[in-house]
Structure 1
Amino acid sequence: MPEIDPPADPAASRGCWLPRSRRSPLLARRMLRALLERVPEGHRFSEVGELLTSELVANAVVHSGVPGWLIWVSFDVNDTRLRIEVHDASDQPPALQQTDLTAGCGRGLLLVSALATEWGHFPRPGGVGKVVWCECEPAPVAVTS
Structure 2
Amino acid sequence: MPETDSPSPAPTEQTCLLPRRRTSPRTARHKLRDFLTPFPVGELLLPAGELIVTELVTNSLQHARVPRDRHILARFHLSPDDTLRIEVHDADREKPTVHPGPVPAHSETGRGLFLVQELATQWGCCPREGGIGKFVWCHISAEAAAA
TM score, norm. by length of structure 2: 0.85
Q: Is the CA contact 1:11–1:38 (under 8 Å) kept in the aligned structure 2?
A: no
Find the partner of 2:126 among 122, 127, 135. 122
Deviations 1:78-122 (A, max 9, x none): 343100000001010010014223211111000001110000001
Letter in structure 2 aligned against 1:68: D
* Structure 1 residue 10 displacement after superposition: 4.2
Alignment of 1:22-101 (within 5 A): 22-66=22-66, 67-78=68-79, 79-98=81-100, 99-101=103-105
For structure 2, the 5+ residue unaligned runs are 1-8
Aligned to 1:132: 136
* Structure 1 residue 11 displacement after superposition: 2.8
Q: Identity of aligned pairs, percent?
A: 42
* Structure 1 residue 123 displacement after superposition: 0.4
Q: Is the CA contact 1:12–1:39 (under 8 Å) kept in the aligned structure 2?
A: no
* Structure 1 residue 41 displacement after superposition: 2.2
Letter in structure 1 aligned against 2:138: C
Q: Which has the higher Rg, Structure 1 or Structure 2?
A: 2
Q: Structure 2 CA distance, aligned partners of 1:74 and 1:140?
A: 23
Q: Is the CA contact 2:41–2:82 (under 8 Å) kept in the aligned structure 1?
A: no
Deviations 1:25-62 (A, max 9, x none): 11111011001111222111010010011001111111
**Number of equivalent positions:** 133
Q: Structure 2 CA distance, aligned partners of 1:38 and 1:29?
A: 15
Q: Is the CA contact 2:77–2:86 (under 8 Å) kept in the aligned structure 1?
A: yes
Q: Is the CA contact 1:17–1:73 (under 8 Å) kept in the aligned structure 2?
A: yes
Query: Which consecutive aligned stretches of 4+ in structure 1 deviate over 4 angstroms post-superposition?
Result: none
